[in-house]
Amino acid sequence: MEPKLSLVILTIFLLCSAAIHNGSRPVLALAPCDFPAIFNFGDSNSDTGGLSAVYGQAAWPAGETYFGHPAGRYADGRLVVDFIAQSFGLPFLSAYLDSVGTNFTHGANFATAGSTIRPQNTTIRQYGYSPISLDVQFNELYQFRRRSQVTRAKGGVFQKLMPKEEVFSRALYTFDIGQNDLTAGYFLNMSTSEVRAYIPDVLGQFKNIIKYVYGEGGRYFWIHNTGPVGCLPYVMDRIPVLASQIDSAGCASPFNEVAQDFNRGLKKVVDQLRKELPLAAITYVDVYSVKYSLISQPKKHGFTEPLRACCGHGGKYNYNKNHGCGSKITKGGHEVLIGKSCKDPQHYVNWDGVHFTEAANKQIFDHIVSGLLSDNKTPLRMACHRV
């Protein structure tokens, strides 16, 4: 027997045994889910063109690896949500805010770069946080569900570009948001204890949104926790910490500890929602673990640069907040690109000091799709089952 096949059989046996031991029906014994659409909520980790549609396209060399041109993503290629869509045979999600070339038959993406769960009392030009917070993203879904059916009823091309009404109750609702809520406090010069103090309010607002989506017919939820923000150049470069607070991977421990506090709270919220929403299948996915693993054990995953940004301009981490990826300067009357990408982005975990490369995103997807990083061990293809 092939080694890989043996590993698959052993994994299935262990998952089924665990389910039987816990008195529940093993999820792998159920039929795979057939999601006709995905509705995504989030920030730049899953934005497929929302912010670009409003504030201008993410600049070249964004998109260079897969698309060959900027494609609304703050990466060199595909994001985790792109790999999720592809795994179901669905097209890439159109950004809800994009009016050109969009097709919403198989879902919509409400995420925008810089989004937070809790609305921010700042402008995007002051601190870089999007006005499209999670409550606004829900309002977009609320409007879209109703207006899409009015438009679809017109027939013709409209019928081909809008989802059927039943799609909303059969779709997968994905969430990847929270990172910016944590960094927002730090960038406003708050202390770690002050950031920790407002986490319960952030999670309370997140819980409300899940309930609102449930009220709109959403039943299947795939929720990512937040990643190790203390390993990202845009945080480490801007908020100094003591040498003793740098861990063995080169990350800033205080920020990662806050992220883990957030994640523990998020897990509790998910547990509460499972009790309060009897028809919902909710999967909590630990992306923090795989992201930290890519950075702390890069060689194991095929990377040589775990912390330095592939695309940027100077500095310890090849990150400069004033001259980011794709930035240009005028020299001799001509624009010169100084925020250049590296020659081998497939060897880098970080793309631009804030976001992950396509290679890293693919690794993240590969680690979460099987369900081994889901709290209930539910694989992506079984996320419609309540276990």
Residues taking part in catalysis: 44, 352, 355
Distance of alpha carbon 91 from alpha carbon 100, whole angstroms: 16
Nearest to 77 by CA among 363, 369, 319, 356: 356
Give the pairing of strands 172-176 and 220-224: parallel
Counting beta carbons within 10 angstroms of the beta carbon of residue 139, is it exposed (0 to 12), middle (13 to 18) or buried (19 or more)? middle
Do 313 and 340 touch, CB atoms closer than 8 A? yes
Which residues make Cβ contacts (< 8 Å) with residue 127, sequence separation at least 6? 120, 184, 187, 188
Longest dimension (CA), the chain: 73
Task: Compute the residue count for the chain.
Answer: 387
